[in-house]
Structure 1
Amino acid sequence: MAGWRAYSGSAVALPIDGIDTDQLIPARFMSTPRTEGYGRFLMHDLRFGSNGEAYAEHPLNQHHDASVLVTGRNFGGGSSREAAVYALIDFGIKAVVAPSFGDIFAGNAVNNGLLPARVSEDDCDKLTKALDKAAHPATIDLDNSQVTIADLTVSFAIDPVWRTKLIEGWDDIDLTAQYGEAIATFSQKDRATRAWAYLGTEPSPPN
């Protein structure tokens, strides 16, 4: 996964609270191999009718090149399905801007290079009004935790560790690997004081 510090794309607003993971990708589509892409399933039941006809008024049907989504509270709540993040990424979404996120969804997003940018309710309303049901240029600055949309710049909150993971392109395993030498050193010291905990195992030398 490639890391990134800055990004420029196109933003649209979807001012709906509580878009959950089942709405992001309904369960019936999750048997499809990821290699076939999940982008076409993103918010399927919000974007298409039962006859498969696209709802013309949905922002993502109007703007297929949108890559930054400004939306409502508790985005990505519900189940822990990582496929919800896959659907966003495969559609081309690089960042979601919202006042709050489902915790598991946000962690999955970062592990896959997708930014969950948490902004205040007031700033989210300002961005939504600035977009005014249209697509506008958007830039994201991870180093300074800022997003600029339609000439309006606001700050977003993100855990410093998550910022590092996005910049470096790391998931949880990559992050842990950065401490490999310290972990091995601790293990050797701990083995000396708690040998009973390591019965039947061989020590791992520091990298």
Structure 2
Amino acid sequence: MVEEILKFHDKEFIDSAYQNIFGRLPDTHEVNRYRNMLRSGVDKRAVLLAIWQSEPIQRPLSPELDRALTVLQTEMKRERGFRGKMERGRRLEQRIHQIDWKISEIRQTFDELSEQLTRLGVRVDNVGQEIHEKTYPGFVQLQQSADELQRSIEDKLSALEARVGGRAGQLEPVVCRGGSASIAGMADLPGGAQRLVRRVRSLTVR
């Protein structure tokens, strides 16, 4: 029964659906409504179900037609569910492609940054080598000068200590015999002599 209705097209299809379901022909408003649905691309089976559910049925349908419409409704629901899954799958696939593209973009950016860091590391190494080459000889020379200066100071201090030791040996009898009182007076001695006497005293105390 349903297959026979679906064989018709446009207004004849609408007339056949109304005649078999409601036992009457559709009015102008009903024809225009469902004709617009058909011409807009709506599935003819969906239009038939819309007509079936558009108003209460005043007379009982034949068991064959009622069963056929119920089966058609179940099939359409299943198809809508399948199409919905297909649509969700399509959107998911698009999303996966977008994520893959984003990952590729991030990977490219990472590679560029890695290359820049490598170049920067080479530049740092070159600068470090250049600084080493420019400053190391001066540092070595400065270290050598400091060592020479230290040796010179040590030599002069050794010579000075030897001279002071000789002077101490000459003045020791005087200092030990009379102490500060054996000399006419510390205040009467020149400043250099006073310092020398103090140095001798410190050496003899040791």
State TM-score, norm by structure 1.
0.24
User: Whose strand proportion is higher, 1 or 2?
Assistant: 1
Indicate the structure (1 or 2) with the bigger Cα radius of gyration: 2
